[in-house]
Amino acid sequence: MIDLRLKRMFFDRPRVQRAVDRSRRQALSRAGAFIRQRARSSIRKRKRSSRPGQPPSSHTGLLRRFILFGYDRQRDSVVVGPVGFRRSTAPGVLEFGGRTSVESRRRGRRRGKRVVRIAARPYMKPALEKEKSNLPVVWRNSVRSSG
């Protein structure tokens, strides 16, 4: 009969667990970077507005610049999306559609605020959908022996 203690001699559990954890963090971070890049590249910088259903146009470059990703240790996941828009609901309204207030201007003068309905111009979900097929490649051979 083989004793289970024999198994411990050949299998360094803490070392394997550390390697798996490190590889998981690296793979998730790499996936987040790919999704972020896909979302950023879908947003074109131009003056005119995009059509509903198409990724939004970037007039100032802020939306593209503030799409970031981060590894969440508590949830063991990666989060990708626009950050740094404290008072603005624009990123969410662009992704899902909805109502938002805009400043009305006429000949350079402020005319007050009005509420407008914005049709969805998704950019994050399409980026994830386009990158889904590449995600298994990120995980392939991610756990390797270091020596």
pLDDT band at 3 (very low <50, low <70, confident <90, very high): low
Delimit the domains of the chain by residue range: 9-139
Distance of CA 141 to the CA centre of its chain: 23
Angle of helix 13-42 versus helix 124-131 axis, rounded to 10? 130
pLDDT tens digits, one per residue of 67-123:
999 999 899 899 999 998 888 888 999 999 999 888 877 776 767 888 999 999 999
Is 79:69 a contact under the CB 8 Å cutoff? yes
pLDDT band at 9 (very low <50, low <70, confident <90, very high): low
